């Protein structure tokens, strides 16, 4: 019961008692005085009504004057009351249907956006990121990351459908012209290497080594020596000719419509088709893929990379990087209404399923919260919520009692005594 109204009800009862005491004294000395008799009767009835309602209201919470029968009703029936309150909250105030109706008319994504875009929220988020970044960097172990990274990479490489990927890459390269650009780049590099003087010298050295390898008998060496002396065989000129032919060949092949270029494209296209349809090709690629993954050892490279990253990483830098990436993602989300609608739909579906499954948590939470209250706390909880009404019940008891007393006094004095009582005596 709120203190103000409780005090007011006590004051009203006190005033009624004071009036009754004064009226009783006056009635003792002036028993025939009409107004004093009326005041005595009215104050008596008001006092009885006030005391009766004080007893009734007090009996809800404790034992008035130690009276044990049917008093302290709330503490005595706390379990039933708690269950009733929990059931009312779950089934009426927060029923599944009412919660879902509110969700239907609420734009959850907009509420989340407004909440997250507040300045305090941004500062809070930045502080949380910085704190967790510090803890992450302090507790991180390079060898654990290496093992996890290698396991993750090898798992991905082992599960990836490499044949399909290769087919897609070949199809993309041929359709987009990237394969021709790759061949152009390779030919350009080859032309630069072949065009060097050192290449011509290397050709000549190769021819000389070949001449020595084929001249195993004396008569073969004699024939070659005679050919060189008569200039029938000139290795230097042959090297120059071959060098020029090689350059001309590379120049011819630079034309994308050259027969060799067309042949390469046809072979690559056929290989792509086989990768997509031929089980033998697919199994061969899969076997090669598995063998490569089994032999692959990334620990050294990952260790070096992770150690360098950890040496250069700082909590402030990590927090700034996370903040930048989050800001980019957030800007993308804010600008994409379709994505917001998709998230809104998924949130409402998820929340609807959660409500269907976990709606009994409402009663559980209410029950646990009320069970933690002692009898005194429970009384105070009810009094705080209904104290004003309970106090007015007490005040109204005195008012109604006084009015009833007044009506009874008027009825007895002006109706019963002058009319009804004489008639009864005459009849009897």
Q: Look at residue 291 in the predicted model and tell me its pLDDT.
A: 84
- Quote the CA–CA distance of 397 and 404 in Å, as a whole number: 10
Closest CA to 334 of 112, 121, 122, 124: 112
pLDDT in tens, 67-98: 788 888 888 888 888 888 888 888 887 888 88
The token duo for 326 is: 């989050």
Contact assessment for residue 204 and residue 236, using Cβ atoms and an 8 Å cutoff: yes
For the chain, the C-alpha Rg in angstroms (whole number) is 51
- DSSP state at residue 415: I
Task: Write down the domain spans for the chain.
Answer: 3-76+373-427, 156-296
- Quote the CA–CA distance of 361 and 358 in Å, as a whole number: 6
- Quote the CA–CA distance of 64 and 46 in Å, as a whole number: 19
Closest CA to 355 of 98, 141, 178: 98
Q: What angle do CA 45, 47, 50 make, to 5 degrees?
A: 110
- Quote the CA–CA distance of 318 and 324 in Å, as a whole number: 10
- How many CB atoms neighbour CB 45 within 10 A? 23
Sign of CA dihedral 183, 184, 186, 191: positive
pLDDT in tens, 341-358: 999 999 888 888 888 888
- How many CB atoms neighbour CB 121 within 10 A? 12
Count how many residues are written for the chain: 428
Q: Look at residue 422 in the predicted model and tell me its pLDDT.
A: 83
Q: Percent of the chain at pLDDT above 90?
A: 11
- DSSP state at residue 373: S
- Quote the CA–CA distance of 193 and 325 in Å, as a whole number: 45
- Quote the CA–CA distance of 289 and 160 in Å, as a whole number: 9
The token duo for 402 is: 């006084």
Q: Look at residue 226 in the predicted model and tell me its pLDDT.
A: 46
- How many CB atoms neighbour CB 243 within 10 A? 20
- Quote the CA–CA distance of 201 and 19 in Å, as a whole number: 135
Contact assessment for residue 384 and residue 3, using Cβ atoms and an 8 Å cutoff: no
Residue ranges of the alpha helices (H) in 140-258? 142-159, 162-176, 178-194, 197-214, 218-229, 235-253
Instruction: Give 354: exposed, middle or buried? Use CB within 10 Å, 0-12, 13-18, 19+.
Output: exposed
Q: Look at residue 158 in the predicted model and tell me its pLDDT.
A: 74
Q: Look at residue 1 in the predicted model and tell me its pLDDT.
A: 43
The token duo for 413 is: 């004095």
At residue 326, φ and ψ (nearest 5 deg) are -65, -40
- DSSP state at residue 77: T
At residue 88, φ and ψ (nearest 5 deg) are -65, -40
Closest CA to 170 of 266, 91, 88, 260: 266
Q: Give me the residues of the chain with pLDDT under 50, please.
A: 1-3, 218-219, 226-227
- How many CB atoms neighbour CB 108 within 10 A? 13
């Amino acid at each position: 019961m709120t203190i103000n109204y409780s005090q007011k009800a006590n004051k009203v009862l006190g005033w009624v008692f004071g009036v009754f005491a004064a009226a009783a004294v006056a009635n003792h000395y002036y028993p025939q005085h009409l107004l004093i008799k009326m005041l005595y009767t009215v104050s008596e009835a008001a006092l009885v009504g006030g005391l009766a309602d004080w007893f009734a209201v007090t009996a809800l919470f404790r034992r008035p004057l130690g009276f044990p029968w049917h008093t302290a009703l709330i503490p005595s029936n706390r379990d039933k009351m708690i269950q009733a309150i929990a059931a009312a909250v779950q089934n009426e105030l927060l029923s599944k249907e009412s919660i879902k109706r509110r969700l239907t008319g609420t734009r959850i994504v907009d509420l989340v956006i407004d909440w997250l875009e507040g300045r305090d929220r941004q500062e809070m988020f930045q502080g949380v990121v910085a704190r967790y970044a510090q803890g992450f960097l302090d507790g991180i172990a390079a060898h654990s990351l290496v093992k996890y990274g290698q396991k993750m990479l090898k798992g991905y490489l082992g599960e990836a459908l490499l044949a399909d990927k290769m087919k897609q890459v070949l199809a993309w390269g041929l359709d987009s012209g990237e394969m021709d650009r790759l061949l152009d780049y390779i030919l350009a590099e080859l032309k630069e290497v072949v065009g060097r003087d050192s290449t011509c010298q290397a050709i000549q050295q190769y021819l000389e080594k070949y001449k020595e390898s084929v001249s195993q008998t004396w008569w073969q060496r004699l024939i070659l020596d005679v050919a060189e002396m008569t200039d029938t065989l000139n290795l230097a000129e042959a090297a120059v000719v071959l060098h020029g032919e090689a350059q001309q060949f590379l120049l011819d092949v630079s034309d994308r419509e050259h027969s060799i270029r067309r042949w390469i494209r046809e072979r690559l296209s056929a290989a792509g088709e086989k990768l997509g349809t031929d089980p033998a090709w697919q199994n061969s690629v899969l076997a090669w893929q598995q063998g490569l993954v089994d032999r692959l050892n990334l620990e050294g490279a990952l260790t070096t990379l992770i150690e360098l990253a950890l040496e250069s990483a700082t909590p402030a830098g990590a927090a700034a990087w996370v903040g930048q990436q989050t800001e980019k993602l957030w800007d993308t989300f804010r600008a994409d209404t379709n994505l917001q609608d998709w998230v809104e739909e998924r949130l409402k579906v998820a929340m609807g399923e959660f409500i269907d499954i976990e709606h009994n948590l409402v009663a559980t939470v209410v029950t646990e919260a009320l069970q933690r209250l002692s009898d005194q706390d429970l009384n105070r909880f009810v009094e705080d919520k209904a104290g004003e009404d309970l106090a007015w019940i007490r005040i109204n008891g005195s008012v109604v009692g006084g009015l009833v007393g007044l009506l009874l006094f008027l009825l007895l004095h002006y109706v019963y005594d002058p009319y009804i009582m004489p008639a009864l005596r005459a009849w009897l």
